[in-house]
Copies of this chain bind each other. A is one copy, B any other.
Amino acid sequence: MKRNTWQREAVRSALGESDGFISAQALHGALRDSGTTIGLATVYRALTDLTDEGEADTLTQDGEALYRACTPDTHHHHLICRRCGATEEIAADPVEQWARQVAAEHGYTKAEHVVDIFGLCPACSRLSETPDTP
């Protein structure tokens, strides 16, 4: 049976408070700053559980995992700026359908998909004219 501990609630709550994506360690720091005495491992475990349960969304950037609260009914993907790290949610309904169809065509079940787009956001595109020779 899954127990209901204040730590787990604290993680869920803090994740909901935070605006964008946040790293496990940053979340742990925030929780500590808020006066709680939660352990880092517990934060990691809670985040893993939340992700498994579909309550959190995760992506890894630059060697660390970033988490964000996620409503189970809105499966979405991300458009990530490779330079400044800005992240935008994108709806990917066409891709959802396509993914389901491809999986079905090949007889695959329990299909999950990973769809992320990396690029340079408008600001970063302007700031640095990438030297390119095509």
State the A residues within 8 Å of B (CB): 54, 59-63, 65, 79, 81-82, 88, 90, 92, 94-95, 98-99, 102-103, 106-122, 125, 130-132
Contact = CB atoms under 8 A, between A and B. Distances in A.
Copies of this chain in its oligomeric complex: 2
Q: Can you list the 10 inter-chain pairs with the closest CB atoms, starting with the nearest?
A: A111-B119, A107-B122, A108-B119, A109-B125, A113-B117, A114-B116, A109-B120, A112-B118, A110-B120, A115-B115
Contacts of A60: 60-63
B113 A125 contact: no
A112 to B, nearest CB: 5
A112 B108 CA distance: 26
B107 A125 contact: yes
Contacts of A65: 63
27 contacts: A54-B131, A60-B60, A63-B65, A79-B108, A81-B108, A88-B106, A90-B102, A94-B94, A95-B115, A103-B119, A106-B122, A107-B121, A107-B125, A108-B119, A108-B121, A108-B125, A109-B119, A109-B125, A110-B119, A110-B130, A111-B118, A112-B118, A112-B119, A113-B117, A114-B115, A114-B116, A114-B117
